[in-house]
Copies of this chain bind each other. A is one copy, B any other.
Amino acid sequence: MESLIRKTIAAALEEDLGHGDATTNALVAPAARCKARLVAKQDGVLSGISVFRQVFEALDTDLQAWQAAEDGDMVKKGDVVLSFEGKTRAVLAGERTALNFLQHLSGIATLTHTFAALIEDLPCQICDTRKTTPLLRNLEKAAVRHGGGSNHRHNLTDGILIKENHIAAAGDIKTAITRARAAAHHLMKVEIEVTNLDELRQALNAGADVVMLDNMESTTMAEAVGINQELTGGRSKLEASGNVSLERVRAMAETGVDIISIGALTHSAPSLDISLLIETCE
C-alpha cells in the first residue's frame, strides 16, 4: 500500500508543480531553509498526517520533522500538530498539495467521528460506502477508520453485494444468493439488499450472510432485527442504509442493526481547517 500512496503523492505533485514553481524558483535561493508549524484552526480528527509528511519528504529528503499527533487523534483549534525544518523551496512548493490531502482526509475523519460518537455506547458500527472520490478510495477509507468507522467492501471484486437489478437478472432472491455463493471464492460472504420484510425472510432463509435494509423506517428495522434473531439466531448481520443523518442515526442504531452505512462520510464531508505557518530561518 505504501507504494500506491507514493504514486498518488507523486501524481499530485506533478499536477500542482507542472514543470516547476515559477514564483519560488524566482525568489527563494536554493539553499534557503525554513521552519514550519502545522496548526489546527478548528477542532477535529486527523487523517493523512503521514501523507502530509511524505509530500515534503518527496521534495526534500533531509527534512526534519517533529510530530505531535497521529492519524486518528483529536486536535483542538490552536494545537500544533507537527513542526519541521527543511529547504524553503521544498516547503513552499509542497505546501498546497500536502494541505489538500490532509484537510480533505481530516474532514472525512471528523465527520465520521461525529456520527460514531453519537452511538458509541451501542453495538453498532458506522461504515463507509463506495461513494468515494475517484482515485482516493484507499486514503478515504483509511480516514473513515481514523474517525472510528469501519469499512465496507473496498471494490466490486472483494465483496458480493446483490442489488435489485442482480435479483431481477437471477430471477428471485434464493437463486441469486445460491449462484453468487457458488461463484464467490470460499472466503467471501454474500450480502443482499432488500426493501421489505418479506424479502428479508427470503434472503435469510436462502443463507445470506449480511442483509442490507434499504431506506427503511426505524420501526421496520426493529422488526427486521427480530426476524433475523428468529431465523438465524443473529448469525447473519443487518446493515441499514439510506437517509442517514446526524439527527436520525441514534434511533437507527437503537433498533439493533449491526451496521449503518453512510455515503456522505466520503462524498460530502467539508475539509478541516488546518494551516501551515512558515518562518524563514536566520
Contacts and interface: CB of A to CB of B under 8 A. Distances in A.
Contacts of A170: 27
A176 B134 CA distance: 34
A157 B156 contact: no
Interface stretch (A71-79, A88-96, A113-121): A88-96
A101 B280 CA distance: 36
B179 A26 contact: yes
A11 interface: yes
Interface in A141-177: 150-163, 165-166, 168-170, 176
A100 interface: yes
Contact of A132 (B14, B100, B209, B210): B100
Interface in A208-258: 209-210, 237, 239, 258
Given A28-B166, A96-B131, A134-B8, A154 B152 contact: no
Given A15-B134, A187-B160, A188-B189, A92 B23 contact: no
A159 B186 CA distance: 9
A271 to B, nearest CB: 4
Contact of A32 (B131, B160, B169): B169
A246 B191 CA distance: 37
Interface in A121-150: 127, 130-138, 150
A183 B191 CA distance: 18
Contacts of A133: 100, 104, 133, 136
Interface of A: 1, 3-4, 8, 10-29, 32, 34, 58, 88, 92-93, 96-97, 99-101, 103-104, 107, 127, 130-138, 150-163, 165-166, 168-170, 176, 179-180, 182-191, 209-210, 237, 239, 258-259, 264, 267-268, 270-271, 278, 280
